[in-house]
């Protein structure tokens, strides 16, 4: 399928605000269109704004029914109908917007210079280095991150201390209720908040930003920085636990990663060894909602970070990140990191951006074939690059 | 009120039907009375317990109806007069023993009193106990007024001794719970010695062992006894007739329906056209008597509640006697003249009689109807809910939230008790219970559901059960679930009393029906001894309870027990005492806005919480609030505050 056609499809799926119900729902609609339809990302945007929704494990649940016909839950949810193009134009410089990767001011290969940070990070430690820098420099006074919780579950936390933030690196492939934690954090003392977000979480935050102040009860202006993570999919906690439990002691797991697609594996690092599990098995654990997600690069962030692809091969590439800068704020932070010597930069190999665009487009293409109602799996999903 | 000392022979006193039954038993010299609480029967044992005395009357609330009947039967076997008391479905529980008891026969006069609940005013069924008389082949008596309730109960003991078998006395809600004047008879002197004579041969009804075998022989004997009862019934003064010699319509009725019929006939001013044959001995009906009245009329209407029981008997009789009585037209249940469900009332009966006789029933005057409607409008609307401060509201809140969080579609199997309301009413338990059947069936069903994992059932399975129900019928099912390794969380809602029926004692309480100290059986210890892991929580601690439940739903199979312990808000030690003084901080209360949408008054719905429409804020109704403090834990804005109440 060529680009124009895919974009048209994506547009058709995500646009058409009025007749598809943009801003026209409450919890009932949220339940019908998102939760029951298997489209919930678990981001938690609808949680901690009322007593009716809660995050539990990697799921968002309805505790009791609310009979309001309009609700913030519906407005904020990244899966309810919204005109994403309009949202993009509202939040980004129109001239920066690319059809494949969203707004883009620059594309970089970076990593943390601090090897201690790198050791505790997923890839090059760019995310952790930037967050600790932002905290240290007072650009933000709180960061909402996904630390390690119990038994494969991430734990969304708000931290103010750069040291603590430095210890919360690494990717957790089960969804974290990060936006729920953000909703809690805006009601606390902190004034400037940074969030590390998957694409769906970044979209929820963007939807919040474009609501009127009264609708959000104020506080959204505290959102000062969104660092997006590239994301191919997230895994269902229960399914993943079941698969891994058979193969290892869950307590011994120290991390996980997905090498480039030709390896077709999920690597699980345990204290003793690295266990490789075929993606055939892992694909069955992918959250239903991720199949309908067309955003691979967190297009609604200030800057987005993913794993790098380098001609030197995976062993080297895994020590680096690819970074898409989308906003002024994002660019300032990256430049500050360069000046302070927090990040080191590597020349972007030729063809990388094109490959990334192709991967991103592929996710959009697959998602576009899905109705906005989940209808079971079947396709297999490649990680970026 | 005690019904023995204050009231002397010959006095006329106002008695509730159940008190009249109790008085009848006392006048008969009953020595042992056992029962299990259940509306509308409970006041009989309660009343008797106030007259209980060492050596003259022993009264107990038994663990269940079958045990109650066994306890009473033992007294009969030892030569004492005894009775067992239960509501309609209790007879189902006792019926296994009853079948064998009726085969073996009794010695001291023994009666079974059952109180049925047509229309299920306080039951989850309108099962009928009358049919047990036919099924078990024992005489059945049904009082139609309060004096009769007393006399009939007294005579039932005599009849039982005459035929050496148990006799059934059946009441209904409108008889048990209504009141009327009763003239008292003498009370016999206390005393009587118990001895079980059992060394004689099996065939000796006086001194042999008491068993139902040899079956053929004993069964034949039992049927002889029934025939003897019928011959007494033919002359019984409990069967009465009022009306013309040759009525246009003969109504055959019994029990409370006699009153409805009388009123209906007078409403229609049809006294000279309708005859009422009221039967007090309703199984077997006395054939000669009934035949006499059948012969005198052409049309017969049988007025009884729920199923055709008299109607069937009368029609069989008429078929057998058709040569002598001639062909008749019958009206009743089978032809749809009267409904086969629910209670009857004078209007329904009047309509039926009016249709048969072609009389237009008098409608109520318009002004009167208008007044009625106006008065009805003045009655405040009350929804079915748990009391303020009820531990069940808190328990279900935690259970519901735990289930919703878990998100696998888990459900609760309900059981019998106040907590059963969670099946029916949103304000009581948030529709958490999804099944409701007999006592103890919650855990029985759960035990079954808990084994369906291999067929793909992934939903967590929870059974709830009150403390009294636990002892009554849950234990065998619980043992089954443990032994079969069923994946079930069994929640005992322990509110320390048989709260629903009025705080009768049960094995978990250290006082018995007679007010004496008695050993208690601890639920937690019992469950542990059966090998189940047991956790105890206070349901008022919502978050802890919820978290415990969620962790129980996770990891490993098998049966797990959670005891939610908190006394009933109406329990004697709590009633009228507030633990906290509650207040709503209006500045914090979110009101209608998205962010709360009146969670407290719309969902939680404790009657102690009010919604101030003008201010758009929640409020505490200080009169109603029980001061339990639970609502403070549900308000997302922390606007409901609790303050330790001063100890008075
Ligand atoms: C579910 C998921 C899927 C991903 N899929 C891809 C992919 O397909 N292609 C690709 O190139 N990159 C993917 N990534 C991103 C990648 O794994 C790295 O996070 C990214 O390269 C940044 O590396 P880093 O060393 O800078 O991160 P680190 O310095 O280790 O920092 C990681 C940050 O991510 C946060 N975090 C961890 N888990 C979560 C979570 N579940 N939700 C929200 N925040 C979280 C942590 O709090 C931390 O701040 C994915 C990440 C996640 C969480
Ligand atoms: S996707 Fe996020 S906002 Fe939407 S229902 Fe799920 S948790 Fe709530
Ligand atoms: S694939 Fe999309 S929906 Fe799934 S976790 Fe990633 S960003 Fe969220």
pLDDT in tens, B168-215: 999 999 999 999 999 999 999 988 899 999 999 988 989 999 999 999
Residue B396 contacts A where some CB pair is shorter than 8 Å: no
Q: Alpha-carbon distance A31 to A80, whole Å? A: 10
Ligand having the closest approach to the CA of A176 = 1
Atom of ligand 2 at shortest distance to CA of A53?
8
Q: pLDDT tens digit string along B602-633?
A: 999 999 999 998 888 999 999 999 999 999 99
Torsion (CA) B197, B203, B205, B210 in degrees, nearest 10: 60
Tokens of A345: 């930069």
- Report domain extents, chain A: 3-84+371-383, 90-231+293-367, 237-285
Q: pLDDT tens digit string along A313-372?
A: 999 999 999 999 999 999 999 999 999 999 999 999 999 999 999 999 999 999 988 865
Q: pLDDT tens digit string along B147-162?
A: 999 999 999 999 999 9
Ligand having the closest approach to the CA of A366 = 3
Select from B407, B427, B594, B640 the residue whose CB has the most chain A CBs within 10 Å, as the one to mutate to test that interface. Answer: B594
Q: Alpha-carbon distance A114 to A86, whole Å? A: 40
Strands (E) located in B495-639: 534-537, 559-565, 580-584, 609-612, 617-620
DSSP string, B283-296: ES--HHHHHHHHHT
Residue B427 contacts A where some CB pair is shorter than 8 Å: no
Residue nearest to atom 2 of ligand 2 (CA): A43
Distance in Å, alpha carbon of B401 to nearest chain A alpha carbon: 6
Please tell me which of the candidates A56, A64, A73 has its beta carbon nearest to residue B430: A64
Q: Is the pLDDT of residue B1 over 70?
A: no
Rounded to 5 degrees, what are φ and ψ at B538?
A: -95, 115
Place of tokens 């199923």: B307
- Does the CA dihedral A347-A349-A351-A352 come out positive or negative? negative
In the reported structure, the alpha carbon of residue A244 is separated from the centroid of ligand 1 by a whole-number distance in angstroms of 20
Query: Does residue A41 have its Cβ closer than 6 Å to ligand 3?
Result: yes
Q: Alpha-carbon distance A2 to A5, whole Å? A: 6
Nearest chain A residue (CA) to B554: A238
Residue B599 contacts A where some CB pair is shorter than 8 Å: yes
pLDDT band at B513 (very low <50, low <70, confident <90, very high): confident
Chain B residues closer than 8 Å to A64 by CB: 400, 404, 430, 599, 603
Query: Does residue A200 have its Cβ closer than 6 Å to ligand 3?
Result: yes
Query: Does residue A88 have its Cβ closer than 6 Å to ligand 3?
Result: no
Q: Write down the pLDDT at residue B178.
A: 95
Is the ipTM here above 0.85? no
Place of tokens 């240290």: A136
Q: Is the pLDDT of residue B641 over 70?
A: yes
Model pTM above 0.90: no
Residue B283 contacts A where some CB pair is shorter than 8 Å: no
Beta-ladder partners of B581: B643
Instruction: Decide if A49 and B595 are in contact by the 8 Å CB cutoff.
Output: yes
Q: Write down the pLDDT at residue B495.
A: 84
Taking an 8 Å Cβ-Cβ cutoff, which residues of chain A contact chain B? 26, 49-52, 54, 56-57, 59, 61-68, 70-73, 217
Chain A residues closer than 8 Å to B400 by CB: 63-64
Ligand having the closest approach to the CA of A230 = 1
Q: Once rounded to an integer, what is the mean pLDDT over residues A49-58?
A: 93
Beta-ladder partners of B141: B169, B281
pLDDT band at B351 (very low <50, low <70, confident <90, very high): very high
Nearest chain B residue (CA) to A56: B405
Residue B634 contacts A where some CB pair is shorter than 8 Å: yes
In the reported structure, the alpha carbon of residue A97 is separated from the centroid of ligand 2 by a whole-number distance in angstroms of 26
Tokens of B387: 């009391």
Q: Alpha-carbon distance B415 to B463, whole Å? A: 8
Q: Alpha-carbon distance A156 to B431, whole Å? A: 32
The topology (CATH level 3) of B580-644 is Alpha-Beta Plaits (3.30.70)
Probe ligand 2: pick from A54, A59, A62, A79, max atoms within 8 Å of CB? Answer: A79
Q: Is the pLDDT of residue B45 over 80?
A: yes
Q: pLDDT tens digit string along A246-273?
A: 999 999 999 999 998 888 999 999 988 9
Q: Looking at domain B391-565, what is its CATH homologous superfamily?
A: Thiamin diphosphate (ThDP)-binding fold, Pyr/PP domains (3.40.50.970)
- Calculate the alpha carbon distances from A67 to A25, A30, B429, B606, B615 in Å: 11, 12, 18, 19, 20
Q: Alpha-carbon distance A246 to B12, whole Å? A: 80
Tokens of B628: 């339990």
Q: Is the pLDDT of residue B364 over 90?
A: no
Probe ligand 1: pick from A171, A194, A320, max atoms within 8 Å of CB? Answer: A171
In chain B, pLDDT over 90 holds for what percent of residues? 78
Q: Alpha-carbon distance B256 to B247, whole Å? A: 22
In CATH, B3-233 is 3.40.50.10860: no
Query: Does residue A243 have its Cβ closer than 6 Å to ligand 3?
Result: no
Please tell me which of the candidates A50, A59, A63 has its beta carbon nearest to residue B594: A50
In CATH, A237-285 is 3.20.20.300: no
In CATH, B240-357 is 3.30.420.40: no
Ligand having the closest approach to the CA of A367 = 3
Chain A residues closer than 8 Å to B633 by CB: none
Instruction: Decide if B603 and A70 are in contact by the 8 Å CB cutoff.
Output: no
Ligand having the closest approach to the CA of A319 = 1
Q: Alpha-carbon distance B440 to B471, whole Å? A: 9
| Element of type H or E holding A45 | none
- Report domain extents, chain B: 3-233, 240-357, 391-565, 580-644
- Does the CA dihedral A197-A201-A206-A211 come out positive or negative? negative
Please tell me which of the candidates B405, B406, B597 has its beta carbon nearest to residue A68: B597
Strands B167-172 and B617-620: unpaired
The topology (CATH level 3) of A90-231+293-367 is 3.40.640
In the reported structure, the alpha carbon of residue A231 is separated from the centroid of ligand 3 by a whole-number distance in angstroms of 6
Residue B430 contacts A where some CB pair is shorter than 8 Å: yes
Residue nearest to atom 33 of ligand 1 (CA): A169
Q: Once rounded to an integer, what is the mean pLDDT over residues B375-398?
A: 88
Q: Write down the pLDDT at residue A377.
A: 30
Q: Alpha-carbon distance B175 to B146, whole Å? A: 7
Rounded to 5 degrees, what are φ and ψ at A242?
A: -60, -45
Query: Does residue A43 have its Cβ closer than 6 Å to ligand 2?
Result: yes
Query: Does residue A324 have its Cβ closer than 6 Å to ligand 3?
Result: no
Instruction: Decide if B405 and A62 are in contact by the 8 Å CB cutoff.
Output: no
Q: Is the pLDDT of residue B4 over 90?
A: no
Query: Does residue A168 have its Cβ closer than 6 Å to ligand 2?
Result: no
Distance in Å, alpha carbon of B84 to nearest chain A alpha carbon: 45
Nearest chain A residue (CA) to B399: A63
Query: Does residue A234 have its Cβ closer than 6 Å to ligand 3?
Result: yes
Chain A residues closer than 8 Å to B430 by CB: 64
Place of tokens 């797990």: B560
Chain B residues closer than 8 Å to A30 by CB: none
Closest CA to A27 of A67, A56, A61, A78: A67
Would A90-231+293-367 and A237-285 be classified into the same CATH topology?
Answer: no
Please tell me which of the candidates A26, A56, A70 has its beta carbon nearest to residue B405: A56
Query: Does residue A117 have its Cβ closer than 6 Å to ligand 3?
Result: no
Q: Once rounded to an integer, what is the mean pLDDT over residues A50-77?
A: 92
Would B3-233 and B391-565 be classified into the same CATH topology?
Answer: yes
């Amino acid at each position: 399928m060529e680009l124009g056609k895919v974009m048209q499809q994506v547009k058709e799926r995500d646009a058409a605000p009025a007749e598809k119900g943009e801003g026209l729902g409450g919890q009932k609609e949220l339940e019908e269109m998102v939760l029951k339809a298997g489209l919930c990302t678990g981001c938690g945007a609808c949680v901690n704004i009322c007593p009716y929704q809660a995050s539990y494990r990697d799921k968002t649940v309805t505790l009791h029914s609310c009979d309001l016909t309009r609700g913030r839950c519906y407005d904020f949810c990244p899966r309810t109908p919204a005109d994403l193009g309009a949202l993009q134009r509202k939040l980004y410089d129109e001239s920066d917007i690319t059809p494949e990767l969203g707004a883009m001011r620059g594309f970089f290969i970076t990593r943390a210079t601090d090897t201690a940070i790198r050791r505790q990070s997923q890839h090059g430690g760019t995310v952790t280095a930037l967050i600790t820098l932002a905290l240290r420099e007072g650009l933000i006074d709180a960061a909402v991150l996904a630390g390690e919780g119990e038994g494969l579950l991430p734990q969304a936390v708000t931290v103010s201390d750069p040291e603590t933030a430095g210890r919360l690196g690494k990717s957790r492939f089960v969804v974290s209720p990060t936006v729920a934690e953000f909703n809690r954090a805006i009601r606390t003392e902190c004034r400037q908040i940074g969030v590390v977000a998957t694409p769906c979480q970044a979209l929820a935050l963007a939807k919040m930003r474009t609501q009127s102040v009264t609708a959000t009860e104020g506080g959204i202006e505290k959102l000062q920085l969104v660092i997006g993570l590239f994301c191919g999919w997230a895994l269902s906690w229960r399914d993943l636990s079941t698969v891994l439990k058979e193969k290892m002691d869950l307590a011994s797991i120290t991390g996980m990663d997905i090498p480039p697609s030709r390896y077709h594996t999920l690597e699980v690092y345990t204290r003793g060894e690295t266990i490789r599990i075929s993606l055939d098995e892992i694909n069955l654990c992918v959250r239903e909602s991720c199949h309908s997600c067309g955003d691979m690069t967190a297009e609604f962030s200030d800057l987005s970070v993913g794993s790098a692809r380098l001609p030197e091969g995976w062993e080297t590439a895994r020590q680096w990140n690819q970074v898409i800068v989308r906003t002024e704020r994002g660019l300032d932070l990256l430049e500050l990191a360069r000046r302070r010597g927090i990040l080191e930069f590597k020349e972007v190999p030729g063809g990388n951006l094109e490959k990334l665009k192709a991967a991103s487009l592929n996710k959009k293409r697959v998602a576009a074939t899905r109705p906005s109602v989940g209808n079971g799996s079947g396709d297999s999903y490649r990680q970026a690059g | 009120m005690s019904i023995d000392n204050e009231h002397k022979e010959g006095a006329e006193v106002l008695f509730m039907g159940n008190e009249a039954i109790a008085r009848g038993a006392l006048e008969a010299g009953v020595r042992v009375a056992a029962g299990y609480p259940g509306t509308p029967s409970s006041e009989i044992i309660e009343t008797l317990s106030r007259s209980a005395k060492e050596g003259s009357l022993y009264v107990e609330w038994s663990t269940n109806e079958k045990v109650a009947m066994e306890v009473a039967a033992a007294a009969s076997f030892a030569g004492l007069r005894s009775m067992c008391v239960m509501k309609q479905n209790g007879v189902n529980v006792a019926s296994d023993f009853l079948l064998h008891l009726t085969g073996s026969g009794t010695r001291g006069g023994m009666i079974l009193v059952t109180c049925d609940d047509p229309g299920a005013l306080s039951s989850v069924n309108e099962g009928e106990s009358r049919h047990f008389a036919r099924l078990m082949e024992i005489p059945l008596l049904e009082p139609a007024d309060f004096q009769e309730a007393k006399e009939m109960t007294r005579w039932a003991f005599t009849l039982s001794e005459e035929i050496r078998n148990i006799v059934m006395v059946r009441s209904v809600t409108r008889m048990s719970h209504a009141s009327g004047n009763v003239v008292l008879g003498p009370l016999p002197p206390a005393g009587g010695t118990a001895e079980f004579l059992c060394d004689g041969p099996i065939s000796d009804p006086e001194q042999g062992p008491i068993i139902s075998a040899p079956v053929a022989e004993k069964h034949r004997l039992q049927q002889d006894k029934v025939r003897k009862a019928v011959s007494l019934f033919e002359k019984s003064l409990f069967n009465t007739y009022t009306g013309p010699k040759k009525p246009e319509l003969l109504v055959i009725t019994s029990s409370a329906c006699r009153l409805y019929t009388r009123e209906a006939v007078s409403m229609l001013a049809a006294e000279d056209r309708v005859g009422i044959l009221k039967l007090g001995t309703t199984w077997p009906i006395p054939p000669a008597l009934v035949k006499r009245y059948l012969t005198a009329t052409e049309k017969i209407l049988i007025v009884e509640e729920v199923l055709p029981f008299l109607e069937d008997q009368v029609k069989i009789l008429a078929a057998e006697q058709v040569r002598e009585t001639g062909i008749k037209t019958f009206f009743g249940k089978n032809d749809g003249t009267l409904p086969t469900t629910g209670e009857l009332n004078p209007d329904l009966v009047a309509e039926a009689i009016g249709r048969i006789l072609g009389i237009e029933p008098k409608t109520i005057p318009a002004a009167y109807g208008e007044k009625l409607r106006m008065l009805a409008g003045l009655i405040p609307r009350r929804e079915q809910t748990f009391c303020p401060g009820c531990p069940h509201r808190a328990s279900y809140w935690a259970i519901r939230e735990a289930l919703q969080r878990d998100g696998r579609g888990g459900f609760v199997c309900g059981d019998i008790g106040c907590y059963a309301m969670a099946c029916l009413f949103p304000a009581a338990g948030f529709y958490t219970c999804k099944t409701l059947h007999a006592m103890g069936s919650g855990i029985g069903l759960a035990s079954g559901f808990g084994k369906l994992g291999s067929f793909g059932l992934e939903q967590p399975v929870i059974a709830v059960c009150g403390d009294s129900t636990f002892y009554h019928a849950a234990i065998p099912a619980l043992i089954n679930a443990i032994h079969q390794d069923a994946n079930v969380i069994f929640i005992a809602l322990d509110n320390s009393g048989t709260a629903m029926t009025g705080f009768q004692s049960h094995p978990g309480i250290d006082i018995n029906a007679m007010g004496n100290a008695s050993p208690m059986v601890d639920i937690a210890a019992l469950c542990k001894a059966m090998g189940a892991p047991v956790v105890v929580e206070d349901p008022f601690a919502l978050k802890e309870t919820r978290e415990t439940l969620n962790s129980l739903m996770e990891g490993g199979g098998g049966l797990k027990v959670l005891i939610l312990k908190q006394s009933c808000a109406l329990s004697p030690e709590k009633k009228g005492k507030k633990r906290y003084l509650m207040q709503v901080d209006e500045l914090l209360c979110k009101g209608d806005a998205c962010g709360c949408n009146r969670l407290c008054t719309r969902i939680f719905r404790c009657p102690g919480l009010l919604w101030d429409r003008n201010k758009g804020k929640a409020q505490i109704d200080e009169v109603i609030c029980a001061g339990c403090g639970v609502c403070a834990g549900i308000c997302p804005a922390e606007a409901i505050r609790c303050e330790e109440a001063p100890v008075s």
